[in-house]
Amino acid sequence: MAKPPLRSQKSYGKLDRDGFIHRSWIKATGLPDHVFDGRPIIGICNTWSELVTCQFHLRDLAEYVKRGVWEAGGVPIEFPAMSLPETQMRPTAMLFRNLLAMEVEESIRANPIDGVVLLGGCDKTTPGQLMGAASVDLPAMVVSSGPMLNGKFQGRDIGSGTDVWRLSEAVRAGEMSLKDFLSAESGMSRSSGVCNTMGTASTMASLVEALGMSLPNNAALPAVDARRRTMAHLTGARMVELVKQDIRPSTILTREAFENAIVVHAAVGGSTNAVLHLLALAGRVGVPLTLEDFDVLGRKAPLLANLMPSGKYLMEDFCYAGGVPAVMKELGDLLHRDAITVSGHTQGEVADAAEVWNRDVIASVDAPFGPSSGVWVLRGNLCPDGAILKPSAASPELLTHRGRAVVFEDIEDYHARIDDPDLEVDATSILVLKGCGPKGYPGMPEVGNMALPPKLLHRGVRDMLRISDARMSGTAYGAVILHVSPEAEAGGPLALVRNGDEIEFDGPNRRLQLLVSDEDLADRRRAWEAARKPSEFQRGWYRLYIDTVLQADQGADLDFLVGRSSSEVTRESH
């Protein structure tokens, strides 16, 4: 059966006025006549930006993708998409993930391309690009930017983010000088690339592999390693074949692929942010996925990767130890080995070709680095729609805890009071932060791992139970309960918590209870509703986002973006 003509030929293949216009203006970029003879047009969606170390080198990497496309008989055309620098954007990069997804989706749909290579890296960039591409469902592959080199400070390795939190607490506790703290800045980030810990960026790059949307070793090859350029070249060539074979994201992103991603997420000690991103991506492709899946499926896999923030090593070490394919090899039949990938090989074949080169970095299932952990999904009257916690990053003694709430109504209240020596707090207290969910901040910032009160740090306290409707950086650690749903701004029970309320957390049984009677909560709700004020955000993206964003348990996508459309556009532009 003959295949239909390439999508790009509807623009570049027509011998009429419309075809003249499409070809003539793109020829101004230097393309000759013969490239419009039916060759696949491969878009390269590049989120390069000087604002973000993660993607600073993507212009260079795009050139290697182009080499591969040309070699395989395709025509590469690069186009930009907004970059989302996690460390630079205010109020939070997460506010703009869905905007990037919209931009990517409409850029792919509107332009005459047959497939797309997604170049990204920083935390929200990868999921935003994937969500957009999955919604259009043209053939797509990911080339992540790769992690930066190991950080170095005073003769030892330091990790992005993870050591920022640790060193900052040491300064606040009086154990480290401000001079030493500031001197660590240059040594922490020594090259282009994403955080060198198993933060959100490397987690999402790892899950791209586990989903089957990239070539093997996408996650761990350092950004400056020549082999990443080689991988970009091979991706460009493979992308042409995907178009010819009509292999689309909907072919790859099955329920089995998402289950593989969740198991790998548990095995590498991945970021809690991945929960939001996988839920949102699943919503785009129509795969049923729930919060409980992360808990149930994550229990299958022990912690195999000894990587910060749950362990000792960094992503450069992970690369040399074998990377994600080596982890999948160790997981064996815990994965769906017959799941297909964009490489043309099954996940089982990818795993079988891998080796573990350093058992200190990648452990075996029989002798894991840590027990099954993944993500715990909590329920209770404080989080009727769920909340999550990363047990591998928490102090074990706090995984069952009861204490009195020290409540901060918003992030400004927290900043104003947390350093107060008269703050009524002790080591058994539970810090509660409101107003930091998708609607409330807006955008759900990474502030859930609240810095501890200095008065307790000086006494040697290094972890406390913390609860919020916020997120936390994938590089962070601690007994931090996140993504409380519904959030406070949406009227969730979190909004009703008061100073001194007792809260009970039973991690093994996945329970989070506010020990206040239903009657008292009803009275508080009436008072809360009466005191509500209109939002200060009344225009633009902020307004659209607040009005349409879903809660964390649904991935915080916009309600009108859930589901897949198509690549079809029937009307001409002139």
Note the pLDDT tens digit of each residue in 462-520: 999 999 999 999 888 899 999 999 999 999 999 999 999 999 999 999 999 999 999 99
DSSP letters along 143-160, please? EE--BPPPEEETTEEE-T
- Render pLDDT for 71-113 as a digit per residue (tens, 0 to 9): 999 999 999 999 998 889 999 999 999 999 999 999 999 999 9
SS3 538: coil
Q: Which residues contact 473 (CB under 8 A, 6 or more apart)?
A: 86, 161, 199, 200, 271, 446, 449
Residue whose pair of structure tokens reads 């905007």 in the numeric block: 99
SS3 229: helix
Position 189 confidence tier, pLDDT thresholds 50, 70, 90:
confident
pLDDT at position 163: 86
Q: How far is CA 431 from CA 52, 328, 445, in A?
A: 32, 38, 17
CA dist 458 and 41 (Å) reads 61
Question: Of the ranges 147-156, 267-276, 489-498, which one carries the lowest mean pLDDT score?
Answer: 147-156
Exposed/middle/buried for residue 5 (C-beta within 10 Å: 0-12, 13-18, 19+):
exposed
CA dist 464 and 474 (Å) reads 18
Q: How many CA atoms lie within 13 A of 115 on its CB side?
A: 30
Token pair belonging to 242: 């995907």
Token pair belonging to 75: 């025509």
Token pair belonging to 495: 């909004």
Question: Of the ranges 2-16, 190-204, 505-519, which one carries the lowest mean pLDDT score?
Answer: 2-16
pLDDT at position 166: 85
pLDDT at position 3: 66
**DSSP 8-state secondary structure symbol assigned to residue 32:** -
Instruction: Report percent pLDDT > 90 for the chain.
Output: 84
pTM: 0.95
The answer to whether 138 and 114 are in contact (CB under 8 A) is yes
* List of domains in the chain: 1-36 (no CATH), 39-150+190-352 (no CATH), 376-528 (3.50.30.80)
SS3 537: coil
The answer to whether 75 and 41 are in contact (CB under 8 A) is yes
Token pair belonging to 438: 């998708």
Instruction: Report percent pLDDT > 70 for the chain.
Output: 99
Token pair belonging to 497: 């918590």
Residue 374 or 493, more confident: 493
The answer to whether 303 and 368 are in contact (CB under 8 A) is yes
Backbone angles phi, psi at 465, to 5 degrees: -75, 130
pLDDT at position 232: 98
Residue 2 has pLDDT above 90, yes or no: no
Q: How far is CA 60 from CA 126, 230, 234, 387, in A?
A: 18, 12, 15, 41
Position 161 confidence tier, pLDDT thresholds 50, 70, 90:
confident
When pLDDT is averaged across residues 123-138 and rounded to a whole number, the result is 97
When pLDDT is averaged across residues 312-340 and rounded to a whole number, the result is 97
Residue 564 or 557, more confident: 557
Closest by Cα among 7, 11, 562, 573 to 287: 562
The answer to whether 222 and 149 are in contact (CB under 8 A) is yes
Q: How far is CA 377 from CA 41, 57, 395, 430, 471, in A?
A: 44, 37, 17, 19, 14
pLDDT at position 573: 83
CA dist 313 and 297 (Å) reads 25
Q: Which residues contact 246 (CB under 8 A, 6 or more apart)?
A: 3, 139
